[in-house]
A and B are shown apart, each in its own frame.
Chain A
Amino acid sequence: MGRSWTGRAIVRATASGPALLSGTTLSFLGDLDIRSGNVVEESSDLFGKSIAGSVLVVGSTKGSAGAWRFIYQLFQHGTHPVAMITEDLPDPSVVQGAIMCRIPIISGLAGQILAAGLPQETLLNVEGDTVSED
């Protein structure tokens, strides 16, 4: 059992997966290919990587009123992240998509985890308001 961090549970659920750490903002509208989960926005530091199955650690997500639908589409295609750890409180639309798809979100925590120097793909467990290394 490694380190653990506690933030604010926005959507409470349990999930495990490899960390996908990002220092840039991610938009659910336009930055992702729904079918593969690949980040297709060149200005993202995740460009070329897939968010499918990951514990996505990102400071802030960009929504728009349609963000929930794109999260639901990722879920329909099986390309969704299994959990999201953010710094900022995500838009209501992002939260709605996550509740629909039972994807846990913890906010107020991405900064600490990004500063902790974890390697990409570190296995993380998410439960309630806590993230821990496997």
Chain B
Amino acid sequence: MYLTDRDKALLDGIDGEASATAMAALVQLGEAFDAADMVDIGYAHVHPGMALYKGDVELIESLSASGANMRVPVSTNIINADVGNWMQTGAPKTLAALQKRSEAAHRKMGSSGCYTCTPYWAGHWPTWNMHIASIESGVTAFANSVLGARANRDGYFATYAGITGRYPRFGLHLDENRRPTHRIVVDAALDGTTDFTVLGYVIGERVRNGVPFISGLARRPTLDEMDALGVGQATSGGISMFIVPGVTPPYEATAVADAALDEIHVTLADIRDIYDRFSAGDPQDVDLIHLGCPHASYNEMRDYSQLLAGRKLREGIELWVTTSRVVRQMAAESGLLQPILASGAKIITDTCPMSCHFARTVSPDPKLGVEAPRLRTVMVDSAKQAHYVRSMIQCPTLLGTARDVVDFAVTGDYRPRF
């Protein structure tokens, strides 16, 4: 792999031990994937250090202590507790205290501490042709498909990219891998983010890996729907980029009309199958109702606020709305939080049901004393959350639109989507 003089100087330690370690690791990664050289990155969304994984907060602390300093704007991904208000989720104090240590370590490195899976709603909005690195597959999909930035589905090395400002040129950093591989023809009337997470889930299961070109949508999806479409595909498949013609830069509506691609039709029956699969829980057994996966945008907060305005949750109903600290602040200043809180719902930042201490597939240090409660059924408005509640919390779900989920929370009437 070709390295610039500056790359070599970083390897030699001109910028300290942390940069040298980071650069050495990025070179190994680049060589594994036959990268010709490295690119400058403009932004990184990185691993926060997660308290439910043994030694993981310590990993970030040791990186920070070794003198790491972020060279580009950096945001931090979702964590295992709402460290500002862990009590309202029933998290043990030990977990919140350990999780909070990761904040100090990141602050020292210069990361912006937004602790969210939707950093774009918190102002991190990379633009067309900018190379970036992201640890969160939903962020990768949004960056490639909505913003036209260039990102791989990355792991811990997004942190190394943030420290060095460099990343090996492979995968979706190359033009040749950003071309469509499958043509999806949507033959179903869809509306709202829940439907779009489901459409994404169907596409991810069929395509597995590739760049789907999605045609047949009745209108331009909203930003929230584009977000939902990406996270659905990244959940059921390894999809890191999709193309909606006329929306995804630089693809015009007529692009690839003639290209020979595998064609996949998605019908209302396919959409219904996913809703059915994720609605195996018993409405009588619902322990928790959740809105906001991925973390709600300002506009979704507005929707939730309007749906809950003037209404009260039934006795004993637990409803979480999850978002980022930044969006919560914007929503607070617009008066959107009061109707949500007055209904009896909780507003949680930093984490979500599958990412918090409810998860059963994690491996925390035993001395933290974390014990996942047994949940019977979780009701959600996102196919992504449904997928991970089943695999990580290991209980059944009910999947519905935000409107239907809120109606259930208030009236007790369960209304399936179909």
Q: Give every chain B residue within 8 A of A10 (Cβ-Cβ).
A: 32
A100 & B391 in contact (Cβ 8 Å cutoff): no
Q: For the complex, is A56 an interface residue (Cβ under 8 Å from B)?
A: no
Shortest C-beta distance, B237 to chain A (Å), equals 10
A96 and B29 within 8 A (CB): yes
Nearest B-chain residue to A93, judged by Cβ: B155
A interface residues, tally (CB under 8 Å): 26
A68→B155 CA distance, assembly (Å): 6
CB pair B55 A89 closer than 8 Å: no
B374 within 8 A of A: no
A99-B53 CB under 8 A given contacts A68-B156, A77-B363? no
Q: Is the CB of B29 within 8 A of A65?
A: no
Identify the interface centre among B55, B136, B137, B363: most chain A CB within 10 Å of its CB: B363
If the complex has contacts A92-B152, A92-B153, are A35 and B363 also in contact, measured as CB distance less than 8 A? yes
Query: Which of A12, A30, A35, A64 has most B Cβ within 10 Å?
Result: A64
CA distance A35 to B155 in the complex (A): 22
Question: Among B29, B137, B363, which residue has its beta carbon within 8 angstroms of that of A99?
Answer: B29
A99 to chain B, nearest CB (A): 5
Chain A contacts for B245, CB-based, 8 A: none
Asked if A11 and B25 make an inter-chain contact with CB atoms under 8 angstroms apart, the answer reads no
Any B CB within 8 A of the CB of A97: yes
Residue of A whose beta carbon sits closest to that of B363: A34
Q: Are B25 and A73 in contact (CB under 8 A)?
A: no
B contact residues around A34 at 8 Å (CB): 363
Pairwise interchain contact A99-B25, C-beta atoms closer than 8 A: yes
Task: Verify B153–A72 contact, CB threshold 8 A.
Answer: no
How near does chain A come to B196, taking the closest CB pair, in angstroms? Answer: 20
Partner of B32, one of A11, A64, A65, A68: A11
- Are A99 and B152 in touch, CB under 8 angstroms? no
Given contacts A35-B363, A65-B135, contact A96 B157 (CB under 8 A): yes
A100 touches B25 (CB 8 A): yes
- Check B221 for interface membership: any CB of A closer than 8 A: no
Tell me the minimal C-beta distance from B26 to chain A in angstroms.
9
Residue of B nearest to A30 (CB): B391
Q: Which of A12, A30, A96 contacts B155 (CB 8 A)?
A: A96
Q: Enumerate A27-67 residues with CB–CB distance to B below 8 Å.
A: 30, 34-35, 64-67
Contact yes or no, B53 A73, CB < 8 A? yes
B153 partner, pick from A77, A93, A97, A100, beta carbons under 8 A: A93
Expressed in whole angstroms, the Cα–Cα distance for A89 and B247 within the complex equals 33
Q: Which residues of B contact A35 (CB under 8 A)?
A: 363
CA distance A69 to B238 in the complex (A): 17
Q: Decide: B136 and A65 in contact? CB cutoff 8 A.
A: yes
Q: Which residues of A contact B135 (CB under 8 A)?
A: 65
Determine whether B33 belongs to the interface, using a CB cutoff of 8 Å to chain A.
yes
Q: Does B210 sit within 8 A of A, measured CB to CB?
A: no
A124–B50 CA distance with the chains assembled, in angstroms:
35
Proximity bits, B330-344, A CB within 8 Å = 1, else 0: 000000000000000
- Please give me the residue from chain A that is nearest to B157 by CB atom: A96
Contact yes or no, B157 A65, CB < 8 A: no
Residues of B close to A68: CB separation below 8 A: 155-157
Judging by beta carbons under 8 Å apart, are A93 and B56 in contact? no
In this complex, the interface size class of chain B, counting residues with CB under 8 Å from chain A, is: 20 to 34
Q: In the complex, which residues of chain A have a beta carbon less than 8 angstroms from the beta carbon of B171?
A: 92
CA distance A58 to B319 in the complex (A): 44
Q: How far does the Cβ of A85 sit from chain B's closest Cβ, in whole Å?
A: 15
Indicate whether A76 reaches chain B with its CB closer than 8 angstroms: yes
Chain A CB within 10 A, most for which of B25, B137, B157, B391: B157
Q: A30 near B153 (CB under 8 angstroms)?
A: no
Interface string of A84-120 (1 = CB under 8 A from B): 0000010111011101100001000000000000000
* A69 neighbours in B (Cβ, 8 Å): 47, 50, 53, 56, 155-156
A105 to B29, CA, bound (A): 12
B42-62 interface code vs A (CB 8 A; 1 in, 0 out): 000001001001111001000
The smallest C-beta distance from B287 to any residue of chain A, in angstroms, reads 23
CA distance in complex: A10, B34 (Å): 10
Render B152-170 as a binary contact track against A, CB cut-off 8 A, 1 for contact: 1111110000000000000
Q: How far does the alpha carbon of A1 sit from the alpha carbon of B144 in the complex, in Å?
A: 51
Please, which residues of chain A bring their CB within 8 A of the CB of B56? 69, 72-73, 76
In order of increasing CB-CB distance, the 3 nearest A-B pairs are A68-B155, A93-B155, A76-B55
Q: B residues touching A (Cβ–Cβ < 8 Å)?
A: 25, 28-29, 32-33, 47, 50, 53-56, 59, 135-137, 140, 152-157, 171, 234, 238, 361, 363, 391
Which residues of chain A have a CB within 8 Å of any CB of chain B?
10-12, 30, 34-35, 64-69, 72-73, 76-77, 89, 91-93, 95-97, 99-100, 105
A-B contacts, 29 of them at CB < 8 A, read: A10-B32, A11-B28, A30-B361, A30-B391, A64-B238, A65-B137, A65-B140, A65-B153, A65-B234, A69-B53, A72-B56, A72-B59, A73-B53, A73-B363, A76-B55, A77-B54, A92-B32, A92-B33, A92-B152, A92-B153, A92-B154, A92-B155, A92-B157, A93-B154, A95-B32, A96-B29, A96-B155, A97-B155, A97-B156
